A and B are shown apart, each in its own frame.
Chain A
Amino acid sequence: MTFRNEGRGPALTRRQAYEARLRRRSNTIAALSTLAVVVAIVLLVPLAPRWEAVKKSFFNWDVFARTFPGLLEAFLLDVAIFAWSAPLIFGLGLVIALMRDVRSPALYPLRLFGIVYTDVFRGVPVILVIYLVGFGIPGLGLPRPWNSPYIWGTVALVLTYAAYVAEVFRTGIESIHQSQRAAASSLGLSEGDTMRYVILPQAIRRVVPANMNLFIALQKDVALLSFIGPVEIFRQAGVYKSLLANFTPYVGAALIFLAITIPATRYADYLLARQMKARN
């Protein structure tokens, strides 16, 4: 049996009509409860005793309009640091992952290095690595340009993130089924060729969503380099704050980060969902 559908395409089956009703109902409930929460926030927050002061110092439209272009410009430096760090992280992460996979006893030091490396750099907060590398190494009295915080800040980010990326790659390598190795061996391929042509191409593809998440985190952590000198967006916002005695530039900076990270996160989620679907 079907329900008549007032000339809107083919008539719905009973099940479809029921599900459409259910969907309308839950959409209405969701809209109403969201509206209630928004109204509550809009009405209640301004009732806080110092709301006027906070509004002036964090959500000041004039300050926002004056500082936003400068922030955007400073953000280009974040993008640049990200752009040259990312490939280095990818490369070093892959090398470390492969080091941890070597079986030959002569190469055991490499393996040990890989293990120690990932332990150390995953175990120390990024900001500490940035301080130690960013202040420590130029402190050796290196001549220009080798004392640049851009170089050593980048090195600090690369060292830290390569450890995480290496672990992701290793998970990917281990997730490739043993039968793929067996097939490659049965054809007479060497271990190196098996890794290069059979295992790695599949492993790298499989961990794209996981790596995307790491690179989104990296995009935000670039701001930490401001602590050792580069005038990127966070530091630029700080400059404006001191200049105008107003915190709105920080809100502007946050919005700029969100404009990048939210779409990137959604894209990573989409890739992951597609992969899950493909594997089932």
Chain B
Amino acid sequence: MVWLQAKGLRKSFGTNVVLDGIDLSIDRGEMVCLIGASGSGKSTLLRCLNLLEPLDDGEIRLDSVDIAEPGLDPAPVRRRIGMVFQSYNLFPHMTAAENVLLAPRRVKRMTRETLLPEVTELFRRFGLEDRMDHYPDQLSGGQQQRVAIVRALAMKPEMMLFDEITSALDPELVGEVLDVLRQLRAEGMTMVLATHEMGFARELADKICFLDRGRILEEAPPEVLFSAPKEERTRAFLSRVL
């Protein structure tokens, strides 16, 4: 069942064409991995999907409503789509718990008291229950990134976008963050990842999209794309990173 359907997405920064006609469909519960060299448009595509960047052209249908309509209020869409960034982007002046509570309190107007049990449960699920009152600079990179994931989940999004969330981590901390993604995958969360973790993408993704110069050059299930890529450029990229 197609949940999100993007057609002909275009985005330029000045004369630099970053997205050059992207078509992408995502089913409910599906996990899609975007791979490709840096500058190929992975991050921009994610940022456009939750309207952090306005598109130049194209449409994004979410439950058959075009959310890319210029002038549409982006806030309700963003509430439905969670996003996690490469550099965590936690709010440094708030504790982990406050980071997570802020949006549900302000956007959904829920009280701290009603939220606290379920937020505590979220922290517990990801092994962070003893870190709730820590400030971001008192946490390791892996813990910060997990708090960032909890923060996005607390809004109960229908889909999560992950923008190279392990790229800024020390190698020994990557595993704990990937474990969180495995857990979400098992719970059936719809996810789109821009990633350099090829092994992880191969293990869990339903679909891999290889981006090249702002286009999806090749799109296939991981077992197909990794072992028998059709395009020469895909092969070249994979031979560099595998």
B165 at the interface (CB under 8 A from A): no
Query: If the complex has contacts A179-B87, A182-B85, A193-B106, are A187 and B93 also in contact, measured as CB distance less than 8 A?
Result: no
Nearest Cβ on chain B to A208's Cβ, whole angstroms:
13
A104 at the interface (CB under 8 A from B): no
B74 at the interface (CB under 8 A from A): yes
The main secondary structure of chain A at its interface with chain B is helix
User: Across the interface, which residues of A come within 8 angstroms of B81, CB to CB?
Assistant: 186
B17 at the interface (CB under 8 A from A): no
Is there contact, CB below 8 Å, between A189 and B107? yes
Interface residues of A in 185-226 (CB under 8 A from B): 185-190, 193, 197-198, 201-202, 205
Is there contact, CB below 8 Å, between B102 and A190? no
Task: Count A-side interface residues using an 8 Å CB cutoff.
Answer: 17
User: Across the interface, which residues of B come within 8 angstroms of A205, CB to CB?
Assistant: 93
Which of A179, A186, A197, A198 makes the CB contact (< 8 A) with B78? A186
Q: What CA separation (Å) do A191 and B107 show in the bound complex? A: 11
B65 at the interface (CB under 8 A from A): no
Contact with A along B79-107 (1 / 0, CB 8 A): 10111010101111100000000110011
B139 at the interface (CB under 8 A from A): no
A2 at the interface (CB under 8 A from B): no
Is there contact, CB below 8 Å, between A187 and B78? yes
User: Across the interface, which residues of B come within 8 angstroms of A185, CB to CB?
Assistant: 52, 74-75, 78
Cβ-closest chain A residue relative to B73: A190
B33 at the interface (CB under 8 A from A): no
B50 at the interface (CB under 8 A from A): yes
Nearest Cβ on chain A to B156's Cβ, whole angstroms:
11
Query: If the complex has contacts A182-B52, A193-B106, A197-B102, are A187 and B89 also in contact, measured as CB distance less than 8 A?
Result: no
Nearest Cβ on chain A to B60's Cβ, whole angstroms:
15
Cβ-closest chain A residue relative to B102: A197
Contact with A along B28-52 (1 / 0, CB 8 A): 0000000000000000000100101
Which of A180, A187, A202 makes the CB contact (< 8 A) with B102? A187
Is there contact, CB below 8 Å, between A186 and B82? yes
Contact with B along A17-31 (1 / 0, CB 8 A): 000000000000000
Q: What CA separation (Å) do A2 and B102 show in the bound complex? A: 56
Q: What CA separation (Å) do A164 and B155 show in the bound complex? A: 40
Sorted nearest first, the 6 A-B pairs with minimum C-beta distance are A183-B89, A187-B103, A188-B79, A186-B83, A188-B78, A188-B107
Q: Interface on A for B, CB 8 Å cutoff?
A: 179-180, 182-190, 193, 197-198, 201-202, 205
